[in-house]
Structures are given as structure tokens and as C-alpha cells.
């Protein structure tokens, strides 16, 4: 019985894959915001998924990170933290983080990431 218990984690490993958006998005790259809804991005904003359930990115002023534990294709930003540097684009950065926190669905397809909310508003990102 003991050998079965020791090998059980190895047998289950393929079924315990990352089910968050980080398991479906490209790793080791940053997606750059192209636009929100019909508007082009007001400044350079990025988002990346470096490890399971983690989000990192930066705007023109600050870096941010958060948890994302909802199973794909759902998307939920949890525990968002950001550095606190001031800059002229701080209003745009705040609007970006608010929009990001409102997103509820994700679609990752190679170099393109689309996040959307319950109203159908989309944030479109692309790997540069």
C-alpha cells in the first residue's frame, strides 16, 4: 500500500495543471495593452502571468501584482498591490487598474490576450 501512496502524486500530476489564465497565456512575456473598448491605450500598460495564479505588470508610473485564482476562462483580480510613485499619467494608470479589476473573462490565444467584463467591454493585449 505504501508504494501506491508514494506514486499517487506522480500519477495525478498531469491532472493538476494550472487551470488559471496563467496556464493558458504565454509565460515569460509581457502582454501590452492595445486598447480598452473602442479607445486606444492612453499609455503603455503591461500584464504578465509569471507563475500559477500570479499577475504582474506595470503602467507608466508604477508596477503592480495580484493573485488570479479563478479557473480559465474566468478572470478575477485579487489582492491587487501597486507601488506608489506619482507621475503625469497617474489618472490613466488608475483607470487601467480599475478596468483590469472589473474584468471577468479571459481569452488567451498565442500573442493575443483579451479580457472582458460583464458588459462586454474588452481590454485587448498583444505581445510585442
Q: Enumerate the domain spans of the chain.
A: 18-127
Q: Is the pLDDT of residue 114 over 70?
A: yes
Q: Which CATH code fits 18-127?
A: 2.40.128.270
Say what the pLDDT of residue 17 is. 72
pTM, rounded to two decimals: 0.84
- Which DSSP string corresponds to the chain? -HHHHHHHHHHHGGGG---SGGGTSPSS--EEEEEETTEEPSS--EEB--STTEEEEE-SS-EEEEE--SPTTB---EEEEE-----TTHHHHHHHHHHHHH--EEEEETTEEEEE-TT--EEEEEE-
Mean pLDDT of 85-94: 95
Say what the pLDDT of residue 13 is. 44
Residue 3 pLDDT grade (very low, low, confident, very high; cuts 50, 70, 90)? low
Amino acid at each position: 500500500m505504501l508504494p501506491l501512496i508514494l506514486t499517487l502524486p506522480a500519477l495525478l500530476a498531469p491532472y493538476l495543471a494550472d487551470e488559471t489564465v496563467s496556464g493558458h497565456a504565454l509565460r515569460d512575456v509581457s502582454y501590452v495593452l492595445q486598447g480598452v473598448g473602442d479607445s486606444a491605450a492612453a499609455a503603455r500598460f503591461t500584464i504578465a502571468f509569471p507563475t500559477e495564479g500570479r499577475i504582474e505588470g506595470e503602467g507608466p508610473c508604477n508596477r503592480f501584482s495580484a493573485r488570479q485564482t479563478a479557473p480559465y476562462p474566468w478572470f478575477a483580480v485579487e489582492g491587487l498591490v501597486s507601488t506608489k510613485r506619482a507621475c503625469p499619467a497617474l489618472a490613466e494608470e488608475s483607470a487601467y487598474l480599475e478596468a483590469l479589476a472589473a474584468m471577468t473573462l479571459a481569452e488567451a490565444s498565442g500573442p493575443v490576450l483579451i479580457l472582458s467584463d460583464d458588459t462586454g467591454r474588452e481590454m485587448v493585449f498583444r505581445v510585442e
